[in-house]
Amino acid sequence: MFIDSHCHLDFACFSDQFDSLLTQLNQQQITKLVIPATQASGWSAIMQLANSHSALYYALGLHPHFLENFQVQNLTQLHSQLSICDKKCIALGEIGLDKFAPASFVQQEFVFVEQLKIAQQLKLPIILHCVKKQNRVLELLKQQFFTQGGVYHAFSGSLEMAHAFIKLGFKLGIGGVITYPNSTKTRETVANLPIESILLETDAPDMPLYNQSTKINTPLNILPIFNCLAELRKESKSLLAKQLYENSCSIFSLNND
């Protein structure tokens, strides 16, 4: 069985094919999917979607790329909502810092730190979005004495950077980037990561695979990502699949069935 630890099935591009996609995923033994939020306006729809389908879980948070309409009360709303969420809510995210996001770094850091405080208080792992700001994110995690860990989404850094996040309780989300032959550094890093620290993800509909034939990336691509990962590593496919599943269940407190 497989888990897509990061996909945006709430996006409109999936609405027409949603039911058939879930059927195909189940047939391929992709049995659990995590949908992280990007902005406050989408929280309600994500919650409703996840609670309508047994395979879906979700996280709530404020993404650094979607702060155009941010208001301080969104943080109060986030804390309140997470305080009363059901077991389908398994993390706070996706949150972080992004060099290329339109919001100022001052605003990004403020929103990120405040969400770290909420996650720490509520004892929730985070889903971390981090682009070209790894060192600063590490500094802030340490400054806030953040101990809940989480997932570094779409990891593509060095082995040294990977271990720095692993040391703080994070697992690393591995997706379509490893299917690109020219992603030499990331492929080498992934080949040498501790098996207990890896999760599979698609980031659907984004992060397409190398030579992908369809327009939209979907969680079905967990399988070719897994096959690529297995080629890069030394474990048997059965051992690797079992450990990847357990890793996601562990960090997100999912039912390991």
> Phi and psi dihedrals of 127, rounded to 5?
-105, 115
**Which pLDDT score is estimated for 257?**
57
**Which pLDDT score is estimated for 214?**
87
> Residue 2 in contact with residue 222, Cβ under 8 Å?
yes
**Which pLDDT score is estimated for 256?**
62
Of 93, 169, 77, 85, give the one whose Cα is nearest residue 130: 93
Q: Which DSSP helix (H) or strand (E) runs through 59?
A: strand 56-60
Q: How many residues does the chain have?
A: 257
> Residue 8 in contact with residue 253, Cβ under 8 Å?
no
Q: Which residues sit opposite 126 in a β-bridge? A: 92, 150
In this prediction, the residues of the chain whose per-residue pLDDT falls under 70 are 256-257
**Which pLDDT score is estimated for 55?**
97
Domain boundaries defined on the chain: 2-252
Give the homologous superfamily in CATH for domain 2-252.
Metal-dependent hydrolases (3.20.20.140)
> Residue 34 in contact with residue 229, Cβ under 8 Å?
no
Of 200, 217, 205, 191, give the one whose Cα is nearest residue 252: 200
Rounded Cα gap, residues 35 and 128, in angstroms: 13
> Phi and psi dihedrals of 232, rounded to 5?
-80, -20
Cβ within 8 Å of residue 184, ≥6 positions away:
none
Rounded Cα gap, residues 176 and 183, in angstroms: 10
- Following DSSP, what letter does each residue of 104-147 receive, concatenated? -HHHHHHHHHHHHHHHHHHT--EEEEEES-HHHHHHHHHHTT--
Rounded Cα gap, residues 154 and 14, in angstroms: 21
**Which pLDDT score is estimated for 215?**
86
Structure tokens at 113: 């730190």
3-state secondary structure of 172: strand
Pairing type for strands 150-152 and 89-98 reads unpaired
Task: Give Cα 78 to chain centroid, integer Å.
Answer: 18
Q: Which residues sit opposite 142 in a β-bridge? A: none
What amino acid occupies position 41? S
